[in-house]
Chain A
Amino acid sequence: MEEKIIVAIIVSAIAFFSIYAFTPILIKFLEKRNLTVKDVNKIGDVMIPRPGGISIMIGIVTSEIVLYLFFPISEILAIIITSVLGFSVGIIDDKKTMGGWFKPLALAFCAAPILLLGAYDSNLNFPLFGSVQIPSLYLALVVFMIPITGNTINSIDALNGIASGVTTIASFALAISLFILQNYEIGIACLCLAFASLAFYKYHKFPSRIFPGDSGAVMFGATYGAIAIVGQVEVIAAIAILPAIINSFLFLSSVKKIVEHRQIKNPVKHTDDFKLKSTDEDHAPITLVRLLIAKNPLSEKQISNEVLKLTMFTGVLAVITTFMMGVKI
């Protein structure tokens, strides 16, 4: 156990400090090459460097590789390869805006390492009721899980700090759950993601100094999904990111088709003091942000904080669910 604690400290430190140190260098590099986008929720032409996914990739992959050197198990290798593939899909979308179906389809292929390395168990565990064995159906679940988590984190990346903040809170909740379930190696792998997203949050929080881009947001989601599958905590992982899932659900149930989020009508508009308020457009989708500001306009910082509070609430629900895993009716 002592060895595992030391490893956890080492890889968490690598994940955190590599991103903490490298991101300012990346910001300068992107600014120099004019790789910036307009922050639409700020007054004036505020240009923000993008994509920060390069920094996130370095932090997550380096720490997970070091973890693999300590614990050479196929589950950690599957997480590393899935993360890199998720980053690759995102960076293609950063360079060239692809159609709405590109990311879900490409991310489905990112699940291949998990299947090929056999880093999964076909038992689906539920709280209170035990587990159900669904060998064929579970393969489909693995293929669907990575596009779902990748896209949900990407879809919620609408305001400063939300994608990295939600990933940080959900990953810490998932890591706690994995430790409670005594799945220590995957729990430590989840800590790498938690500390990586925490370090990036420092630069992404309001007012953002860098945006993760599709590469960063999709990589966060793909890594999270891979950890959920190889750690056999699919249900707990889904509960921890419920605000992001709700956002995707609200979006899909409004739009009723899969489209690239840049192609839809903006569900929010600005007040004179640049707060965000719900649009009057009938065909604009009802997203989580629009639901939060339906009553009163809120500032970008207030909305971000509300979403993070919701994620803390679901993080607590996820940990409660973990304790319910040991109880059988």
Chain B
Amino acid sequence: MDVKIYSFIFTMWILMLVGGGLMTLIIGPFSLGSIGGVAPMILSGIKVGLALVLIFIWVFALTKIKNWIFKSQVKS
């Protein structure tokens, strides 16, 4: 069994841990302190947007790794 697939899974695990950290440390407590009176719904929307950007980066990175693994497997 190729080590690359285990590495792919391990990378995914690390990304999940890092993503959790970013959620709890940055996105969760995020507030627009200096701009008073921002509706909670708008703030939630911004947080969802930030989470979606993170997911996009996560998916993009994993897609690149997947393509690299598949191509290297086919070539070898």
Contacts and interface: CB of A to CB of B under 8 A. Distances in A.
Q: Do A and B bind each other?
A: yes
A137 B24 contact: no
B15 to A, nearest CB: 11
Contact of B21 (A126, A137, A238, A306): A126
A129 B24 contact: yes
B73 A253 contact: no
What is the interface residue range for chain A against chain B? 35 or more
A313 B9 contact: yes
Contact of A137 (B25, B47, B74): B47
A6 interface: no
Contacts of B47: 134, 137
Contacts of B66: 249-250, 253, 286, 291
Contact of A129 (B1, B10, B20, B51): B20
A310 B3 CA distance: 11
A243 interface: yes
A106 interface: no
Nearest to B23: A132
Nearest to B29: A132
Contacts, number: 84
A181 interface: no
Contacts of A238: 16
Given A295-B76, A313-B6, A137 B48 contact: yes
B59 to A, nearest CB: 7
A129 B13 contact: no
B44 A291 contact: no
A235 interface: yes
Contact of A126 (B5, B8, B9, B23): B23
Secondary structure dominating the interface of A: helix
8 residue pairs, one from A and one from B, having the closest CB atoms: A126-B20, A294-B73, A132-B28, A129-B24, A129-B21, A132-B24, A295-B73, A253-B63
A291 B59 contact: no
Contact of B69 (A134, A278, A291, A313): A291
A84 B12 CA distance: 32
Given A253-B59, A291-B5, A306-B1, A239 B74 contact: no
A290 B76 CA distance: 15
B16 A310 contact: no
13 contacts: A126-B20, A127-B17, A129-B20, A129-B24, A242-B9, A242-B12, A243-B9, A249-B59, A253-B66, A286-B70, A295-B74, A310-B5, A317-B10
B24 A131 contact: yes
A207 to B, nearest CB: 22
Given A129-B23, A134-B28, A314-B9, 14 more contacts: A130-B24, A131-B24, A132-B24, A134-B47, A137-B51, A238-B16, A239-B13, A246-B8, A278-B74, A294-B70, A309-B1, A310-B5, A310-B9, A321-B13
Contacts of B20: 126-129, 235
A182 to B, nearest CB: 21
A30 interface: no
Given A126-B20, A130-B24, A235-B20, A294 B12 contact: no
